[in-house]
């Protein structure tokens, strides 16, 4: 609210008072500062220390004189005057704070007291005179005390001895936190088969943890807890101690006895197998599987599958051969033969899986008695009299010495069969 509006409102209120026969009075309405001033009328002017002594005891005083018709915006020592129009003004202080501001105008003064001391305020003004008008500011005096600085030295405990966080009260007021070095609190482990132990309690002490039950059940059963495969052997062959991916047996986390073929099933159910398709029964379907064991001079195993239907060789049929973890695929040639060779890595089964026909397996061993003429090579009965075609040799990449052995054995078989027939006929 500007000055003209303030005075109009004051006169209006005064006029109402006279109309009802009340004594003349002036009511002041202003944009007040942060505190309500106290009016001292009359005010005794003097130097800064004298004026401040009329209010109280202060260590510091500053008087800014000659405000009449003068722009007083600016800095005076520790005090800065802002937004002064001769009647109203703002102020700030740095680095000190202020306890009292005395604003003199006319014969009186407004006393603005701050408790606690402040470092700024706005809209300070002089008091109204007897005529209800606000005189211009003649001078302003600032009074303040030095703020007490409390200095206190606090030493927190040090050393390796265990201690917890500690809050200390300061004589100057407030608190300070002295951090501890106690280990963080831990919970007792809940793993099975855990021995009795102790864990930190976070207060420089320890919590006693009792032993836990063993991981295996007294009577193992499907899905019972376990730590290793030996705990599941009583269930029979094919059971293992299955640990999910998140389990860690080295940390005592248990697994469960499950079927090795389907460990994720809690019911220990074997997975359904996809049956190998078999052709419609036909007496004229023939699938012959033969192998040649490695000899003293060779570490090669030769395996062959021959398939005929109605005495017609079947070509283009996929055949899978497996031996000691190695898998090879071949297709029957125009003679119905699929042929592969394996490097000998130990005695074991050679399995054959012809697509659409029954699988077979032959156990192969390496000849150890190398004094026999045939070097221990055995030709399967199903290959007697058969001659391996050139197409098979070309497609399977059988080594030349192996192929010659096969051809030699095949010829020997045919010779033996002919000799036997000749003898029988002679008899």
| Sequential pLDDT tens for the chain (427 residues) | 443 333 333 333 333 333 333 233 333 444 458 899 999 999 999 999 999 999 999 999 999 998 876 788 999 999 999 999 888 999 999 989 999 999 999 999 999 999 999 999 999 999 999 888 999 999 999 999 998 766 778 888 888 889 999 898 887 777 888 998 889 998 887 766 678 888 898 888 999 988 877 665 555 677 777 777 877 877 777 888 887 765 555 555 678 888 888 887 776 766 665 555 555 554 567 778 787 878 877 888 899 999 998 888 888 899 999 998 899 999 999 889 999 999 988 888 899 999 888 888 888 888 777 765 544 444 443 333 333 333 333 334 444 444 544 554 454 444 434 433 333 343 4
Environment class of 105 (CB within 10 Å of its CB; exposed 0-12, middle 13-18, buried 19+): buried
Query: For residue 94, which of 77, 111, 70 has the smallest C-alpha distance?
Result: 77
pLDDT at position 363 is 87
pLDDT at position 389 is 37
pLDDT at position 230 is 78
Note the CATH architecture for domain 285-425. Sandwich (2.60)
Alpha-carbon radius of gyration of the chain: 56
The SS3 call for residue 301 is strand
The SS3 call for residue 320 is strand
pLDDT at position 256 is 80
- Which conformational region is residue 229 in: left (phi greater than 0), alpha (psi within -120 to 50 degrees), or beta? alpha
Distance CA 84, CA 70 (A): 10
Tell me the CA distances in angstroms from 336 to 115, 304, 332, 400, one per residue in order. 112, 10, 5, 21
pLDDT at position 61 is 96
DSSP code per residue over 118-136? ESEEEEEEPPP-TTS--PP
pTM over 0.95: no
Distance CA 327, CA 351 (A): 9
Distance CA 7, CA 3 (A): 6
pLDDT at position 245 is 64
Tell me the CA distances in angstroms from 39 to 36, 127, 140, one per residue in order. 10, 7, 14
> What ranges do the domains of the chain cover?
31-144, 215-244+251-270, 285-425
pLDDT at position 219 is 59
CB 240 within 8 A of CB 258: yes
DSSP 149: -
Distance CA 427, CA 415 (A): 19
Distance CA 103, CA 135 (A): 11
């Amino acid at each position: 609210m500007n000055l003209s509006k303030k005075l109009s409102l004051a006169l209006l209120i005064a006029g109402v008072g006279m109309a009802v026969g009340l004594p003349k009075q002036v009511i002041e309405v202003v944009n007040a500062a942060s505190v309500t001033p106290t009016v001292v009328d009359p005010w005794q002017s003097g130097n800064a220390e004298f004026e401040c002594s009329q209010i109280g005891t202060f260590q510091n005083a500053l008087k800014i004189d000659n405000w009449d018709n003068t722009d007083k915006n600016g800095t005076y020592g520790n005090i800065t005057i802002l937004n002064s129009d001769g009647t109203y003004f703002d102020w700030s202080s740095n680095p000190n704070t202020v306890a009292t501001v005395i604003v003199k105008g006319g014969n009186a003064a407004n006393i603005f007291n701050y408790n606690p001391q402040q470092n700024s305020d706005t809209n300070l003004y002089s008091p109204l005179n007897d005529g209800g008008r606000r005189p211009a500011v003649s001078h302003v005096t600032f009074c303040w005390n030095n703020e007490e600085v409390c200095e206190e030295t606090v030493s927190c405990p040090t050393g390796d001895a265990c201690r917890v966080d500690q809050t200390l009260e300061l004589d100057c007021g407030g608190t300070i936190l002295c951090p501890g070095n106690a280990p963080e609190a831990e919970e007792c482990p809940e793993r099975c088969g855990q021995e009795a132990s102790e864990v930190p309690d976070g207060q420089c002490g320890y919590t006693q943890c009792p032993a836990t039950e063993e991981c295996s059940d007294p009577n193992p059963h499907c899905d019972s807890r376990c730590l290793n495969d030996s705990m599941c052997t009583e269930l029979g062959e094919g059971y293992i101690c299955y640990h999910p991916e998140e389990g860690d047996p080295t940390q005592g986390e248990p697994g469960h006895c499950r079927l090795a073929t389907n460990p994720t099933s809690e019911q220990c159910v074997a997975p359904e197998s996809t049956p190998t398709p078999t052709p419609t029964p036909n007496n004229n379907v023939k699938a012959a599987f033969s192998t040649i064991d490695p000899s003293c001079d060779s570490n090669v195993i030769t395996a062959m599958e021959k398939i005929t239907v109605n005495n017609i060789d079947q070509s283009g049929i996929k055949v899978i051969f497996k031996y000691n973890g190695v898998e090879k695929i071949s297709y029957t040639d125009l003679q119905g033969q699929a042929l592969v060779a394996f490097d000998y890595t130990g005695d074991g089964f050679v399995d054959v899986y012809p697509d659409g026909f029954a699988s077979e397996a032959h156990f192969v061993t390496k000849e150890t008695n190398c004094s026999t003429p045939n070097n221990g090579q055995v030709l399967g009965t199903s290959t007697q009299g058969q001659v391996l075609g050139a197409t098979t040799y070309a497609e399977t990449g059988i080594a030349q010495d192996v192929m010659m052995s096969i051809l030699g054995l095949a010829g020997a078989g045919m010779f033996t069969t002919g000799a036997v027939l000749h003898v029988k006929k002679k008899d």
